[in-house]
């Protein structure tokens, strides 16, 4: 074997770009359809074309990459389809910002020129995030990369719209929608974030026309009073039974309106009387429909009051109007009282602007007929959510679903394929341009100016990316895909929509399993955001620590569905693990220069049998955890095996044999075991840390083209050896006991200790005698093994483990007087701190005023100091003979 070529320290920057280019250029990410192989397919949740990699992307794509690399190594025909989303609102905003710098708006240059500029922007900046995903190590098939507005996906969108329309599931109507004044478009219900905000509850008198008094209404939005058309009470509310049907005079405006009875009203909220504003509240809209009430729009799409609001208020911002109308109500004697009131306020999830409920004519999808099969699929287990608790969340939303508003007042996106005849009013739905009206023959047909909601196209992602509506080989082979990996925050936005779309157009669920992960929070458990300034750029982390360290940190300690806190200490720990693996591998490679991998090993030692058996257990546990999507647990198993068992124990146990101290045959056997275990371990670790494992693996004997194509290790039953594990654990426990004594008693590392080992049981004593060399080498001790001791040695530290007693005489090993003086000084310091802490905890003033967490810290400190004091006293007792 040629001389190993690993530098003395691991530098991710020298490795990662090199191997990614090698993988991509050689087509290792690109599978061909092969009916002889079992397919495995994941479609990437498409990041916005405007975006750049953030920690949420890093986690999501790391999990997908782990699953894809693992299944690929298992022999599956593994395809991971990448792509990006056109992100209608966000992308249009970016280009409009550029135009604004030139003093222009989209209306100045027109729709066609504006869209040309958006495509130019997309070509210039849209590939930024895919380049960053490469830096992360994502093993996507970039040859199959898709975009939600590429030719194939656009054809799929048109096909779905037309089919849904033909089935009577798409309709156009006036309805209350969520309007974002900043983004200047409607957004769907699930794109509204309801955040608790401090506000006021205004109690307003609405006088009766006949002068018999008034009814009091409580509202949080007095500016919408201008659009009121009725006051509603509950039909069972005895306070208002006699008032139903009477006529009120709307304050400020003077409009006459009725008192109506409707079960929508909650008698326990406010005064039990509710103002009805059908044009500016979704619930009021439904009440208005039931009672055939008029719809008065008083707020425009810019969030300002319109002409219907009256001369006093038109042109005012909605919040300026609120202040003015409150002053006017008070001045005119209509405002009874104002209360502080915290309530949920809808915000646009993209720009955080307060949503304005707006009556407008929009396109909708009827959801009940589509939701029912999707609900049934989850109930029957054809779609499984991992963790299972998310099934209830999914079902709750689907069972209470409202019709989906799919039209957006934008120019960038899939334009709604509907034309309106300007002469006869005919509505024509068509894939291509309409030249003449199908009803009257008129050539005056204009296309709907709106575009479809971005989620409309991404709902088709699992099958549109595979070629639908064409019946492609990819579609036939890879659909349904194998699993959907996504964050808990877009179950409603995306997952549910993919499920009902797959059932509606492919007659099959798009994936049998949905693997839900949590969000990446900052160290304090807060969402990462620009406003808080607590975001961490994954690319900066890759530059400083390497992609492997970032990936390993994100997956370790991560449980399905739960949020993850980002700690730089954990990131440093992942980098230390990479360095540990690197240094151990360098040692192994230095001892393989004369190794012939084709040779046969000799008789295995106990240490060989133990590590081979432990390696089988690592294979079984890691594979089992991957199968159940416990990726963090799989990473933990590999970490513990590599760091603790392979590096800290086996390498040390194998050194004498590798150095040739026990003969050539032993050296060859040790080389065989250490190289085969390292190679297999690298293959197990590869999905988690692809770059460092490839770099090391390429230097091992018997390597192939790439570790990516290595077979996933499988358990070899003949190497599972419980007896070797049990025996080795006993020897390790004895070793640890001696090491612990050395550490506790401050024995210099270079001093060899005498260790008296009392083993009354014959089998145990024989085992220790046969393998004494292991203990002596690892504990820097000279063993004396005996059945019993005539008496307890003076000044000897003592430990008991597994029925064995260990004595380490200290006389002559350390300076007893000097060590005694040191411990007495340390004890005095600890006792002083302990007295101070106990004093605090007995002080009722401190206990009464200090925060609970401060008190708990002091209690923990007391416990720690008490334990430390006890341990020092025990050591002193050994040194002084209990005096």
CB-based contact 90:180 (threshold 8 Å): no
DSSP string, 723-753: HHHHHHHHHHHHHHHHHHHHHHTT--TTSPE
Rounded Cα gap, residues 247 and 240, in angstroms: 13
**Cis before 387? omega within 30:** yes
| 527-564 CB burial, b ≥16 within 10 A, e <16 | ebeeeeeebbebbebbeebbbbbbbbbbbbebebbeeb
Rounded Cα gap, residues 372 and 130, in angstroms: 36
Rounded Cα gap, residues 320 and 314, in angstroms: 11
Angle between helices 368-379 and 496-506 (to 10 degrees): 100
How much helix, strand and coil, in percent to the nearest 5, is found in the chain? 45, 20, 35
CB proximity list for 148: less than 8 A, separation 6 or greater: 46, 83, 84, 85, 86, 454, 457, 458, 461
Rounded Cα gap, residues 513 and 730, in angstroms: 44
Rounded Cα gap, residues 458 and 81, in angstroms: 13
**Cis before 480? omega within 30:** yes
Q: What are the structure tokens assigned to 422, written together?
A: 């300007």
**Consecutive H or E run containing 342:** strand 335-348
Single out the residue of 721, 699, 684 nearest to residue 595, CA to CA.
699
| Phi, psi dihedrals of residue 222, rounded to the nearest 5° | -60, -25
- At CA 62, angle to CA 61 and CA 64, rounded to 5? 60
DSSP string, 461-496: HHHHTTTTTS--HHHHHHPSPS-EEEEGGGIIIIIH
Rounded Cα gap, residues 105 and 523, in angstroms: 42
Q: In which residue are the tokens 């905003």 written?
A: 93
Rounded Cα gap, residues 277 and 62, in angstroms: 49
| Phi, psi dihedrals of residue 266, rounded to the nearest 5° | -95, 110
Rounded Cα gap, residues 724 and 292, in angstroms: 84
- At CA 189, angle to CA 360 and CA 155, rounded to 5? 80
Q: What are the structure tokens assigned to 124, written together?
A: 């210039």
User: Using H for helix, E for strand and C for coil, what is the string for 135-197?
Assistant: HHCCCCCHHHCEECCCHHHHHHHHHHHHHHHHCCCEEEEEEEEEEECCCCEEECHHHEEEEEE
Q: What are the structure tokens assigned to 603, written together?
A: 């008789």
Annotated binding site for ATP: 530
């Amino acid at each position: 074997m040629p001389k190993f070529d690993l530098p003395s320290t691991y530098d991710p920057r020298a490795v990662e770009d090199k191997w990614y280019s090698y993988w991509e250029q050689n087509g290792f990410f690109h599978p061909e359809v092969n009916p002889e192989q079992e397919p495995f397919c994941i479609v990437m949740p498409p990041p916005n074309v405007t975006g750049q990699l953030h920690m949420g992307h890093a986690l999501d794509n790391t999990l997908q990459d782990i699953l894809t690399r693992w299944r690929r190594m298992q022999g599956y025909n593994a395809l991971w389809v990448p792509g990006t989303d056109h992100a209608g609102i966000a992308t249009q905003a970016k280009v409009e910002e550029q135009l604004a710098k030139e003093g222009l708006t989209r209306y100045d240059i027109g729709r066609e020129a504006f869209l040309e500029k958006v495509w130019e922007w997309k070509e210039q900046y849209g590939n930024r995030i895919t380049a960053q995903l490469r830096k992360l190590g994502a093993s996507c098939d970039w040859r199959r990369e898709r975009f939600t507005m590429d030719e194939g996906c656009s054809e799929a969108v048109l096909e779905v719209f037309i089919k849904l329309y033909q089935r009577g599931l798409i309709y156009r109507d006036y309805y209350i929608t969520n309007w974002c004044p900043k983004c200047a478009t409607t957004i769907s219900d699930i794109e509204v974030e309801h955040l608790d905000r401090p506000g006021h509850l205004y109690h307003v008198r609405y006088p009766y026309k006949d002068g018999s008094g008034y009814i009091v209404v409580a509202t949080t939005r007095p500016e919408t009073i201008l659009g009121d058309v009725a006051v509603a009470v509950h039909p069972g509310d005895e306070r208002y039974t006699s008032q139903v049907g009477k006529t009120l005079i709307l304050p400020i405006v003077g409009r006459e309106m009725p008192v109506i009875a409707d079960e929508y009203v909650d008698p326990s909220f406010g005064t039990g009387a509710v103002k009805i504003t059908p044009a500016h509240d979704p619930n009021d809209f439904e009440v208005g429909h039931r009672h055939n009430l008029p719809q008065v729009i008083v707020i425009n799409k810019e969030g300002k009051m319109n002409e219907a609001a009256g001369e006093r208020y038109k042109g005012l911002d909605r919040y300026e109007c609120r202040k003015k109308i409150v002053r006017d109500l008070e001045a005119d004697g209509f405002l009874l009282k104002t209360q502080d009131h915290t309530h949920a306020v809808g915000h646009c999830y993209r720009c955080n602007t307060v949503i304005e409920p707006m009556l407008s004519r929009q396109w909708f999808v009827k959801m009940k007929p589509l939701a029912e099969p999707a609900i049934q699929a989850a109930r029957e287990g054809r779609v499984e959510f991992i963790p299972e608790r998310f099934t209830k969340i999914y079902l709750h939303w689907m069972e209470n679903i409202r019709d989906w508003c799919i039209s957006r007042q934008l120019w960038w996106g899939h334009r709604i394929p509907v034309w309106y005849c300007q002469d006869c009013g005919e509505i024509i739905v068509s894939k291509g341009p309409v030249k003449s009206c199908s009803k009257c023959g008129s050539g005056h047909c204009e296309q709907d100016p709106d575009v479809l909601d971005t989620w409309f196209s991404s709902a088709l992602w699992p099958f549109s990316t595979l070629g639908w509506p064409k019946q492609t080989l990819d579609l036939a082979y890879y659909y349904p895909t194998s699993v959907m990996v996504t964050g808990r925050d877009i179950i409603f936005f995306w997952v549910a929509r993919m499920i009902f779309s797959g059932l509606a157009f492919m007659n099959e669920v798009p994936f049998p399993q949905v693997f839900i992960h949590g969000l990446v929070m900052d160290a304090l458990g807060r969402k990462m955001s620009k406003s808080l300034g607590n975001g961490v750029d994954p690319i900066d982390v890759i530059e400083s620590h390497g992609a492997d360290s970032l990936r390993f940190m994100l997956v370790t300690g991560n449980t399905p569905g739960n949020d993850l806190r980002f700690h730089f200490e954990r990131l440093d720990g992942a980098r230390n693990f990479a360095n540990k693996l690197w240094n151990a591998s360098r040692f192994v490679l230095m001892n393989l220069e004369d190794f012939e991998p084709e040779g046969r090993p000799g008789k295995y030692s106990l240490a060989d049998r133990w590590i081979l058996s432990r390696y089988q257990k690592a294979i079984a546990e890691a594979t089992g955890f991957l199968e159940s999507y416990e990726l963090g647990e799989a990473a933990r198993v590999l970490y513990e095996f590599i760091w603790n068992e392979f590096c800290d124990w086996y390498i040390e146990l194998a050194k004498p044999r590798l150095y040739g101290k026990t003969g050539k045959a032993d050296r060859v056997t040790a080389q065989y075991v250490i190289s085969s275990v390292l190679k297999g371990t690298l293959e197990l670790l590869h999905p988690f840390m692809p770059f460092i494992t490839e770099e090391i693996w390429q230097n091992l004997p018997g390597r192939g083209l790439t570790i990516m194509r290595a077979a996933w290790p499988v358990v070899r039953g003949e190497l599972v050896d419980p007896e070797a594990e049990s025996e080795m654990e006993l020897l390790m426990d004895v070793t640890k006991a001696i090491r612990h004594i050395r550490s506790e008693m401050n024995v210099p590392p270079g001093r060899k200790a005498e260790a008296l080992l009392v083993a009354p049981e014959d089998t145990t004593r024989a085992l220790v005698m046969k393998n004494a060399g292991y203990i002596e080498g690892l504990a820097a001790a000279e063993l004396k093994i005996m059945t019993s001791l005539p008496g307890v040695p003076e000044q000897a530290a003592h430990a008991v483990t597994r029925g064995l007693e260990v004595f380490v005489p200290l006389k002559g090993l350390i300076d007893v007087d000097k060590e005694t003086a040191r411990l007495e000084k340390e004890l005095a310091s600890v006792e002083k701190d302990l007295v101070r802490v106990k004093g605090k905890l007995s002080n009722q003033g401190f206990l009464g005023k200090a925060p609970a967490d401060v008190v708990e810290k002091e209690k923990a400190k007391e416990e720690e100091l008490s334990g430390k004091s006890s341990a020092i006293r025990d050591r002193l007792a050994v040194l002084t003979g209990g005096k």
